[in-house]
């Protein structure tokens, strides 16, 4: 798990100054890593702001069902994050809001 954490931090740092093409590349790379990266993404999503937050949310949606349990756990421990987690779960499952 720790082998994922450092690269995620590097991706987050790159997202801060990246142009749209680089942002797309980073998003695709994170999606390709898949469920292994989900815990780090959910943790980071609770901290980051702005466009970076949106990109991480989209990555979790694209990764899909593997994100749901981690989002639920984060929502249970962070009430401020609950609505975001619920929204993402709804998007992942394709349920009309």
pLDDT tens digits, 31-58: 999 999 999 999 999 999 999 999 999 9
Residue 4 binned pLDDT confidence (cut-offs 50, 70, 90): low
Q: Produce one character per residue of 55-88: b if its CB has 16 or more CB atoms within 10 Å, e if not.
A: bbbbbbbbbeeebbebbeebbeeeeebeebbeeb
Asked if residue 11 has pLDDT above 70, the reply is yes
Asked if residue 97 has pLDDT above 70, the reply is no
Which structure tokens are listed for 82? 């609950």
Contacts of 89 (CB under 8 A, 6+ apart): 68, 71, 72
Asked if residue 88 has pLDDT above 60, the reply is yes
């Amino acid at each position: 798990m720790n082998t994922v954490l450092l690269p995620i931090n590097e991706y987050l740092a790159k997202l801060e100054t990246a142009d749209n093409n680089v942002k797309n590349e980073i998003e695709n790379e994170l999606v390709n890593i898949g469920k292994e990266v989900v815990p780090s993404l959910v943790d980071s999503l609770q901290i980051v702001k702005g466009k970076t937050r949106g990109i991480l949310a989209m990555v979790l949606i694209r990764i899909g069902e593997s994100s749901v349990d981690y989002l639920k756990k984060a929502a249970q421990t962070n009430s401020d994050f609950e609505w975001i987690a619920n929204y993402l779960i709804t998007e992942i499952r394709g349920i009309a809001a």
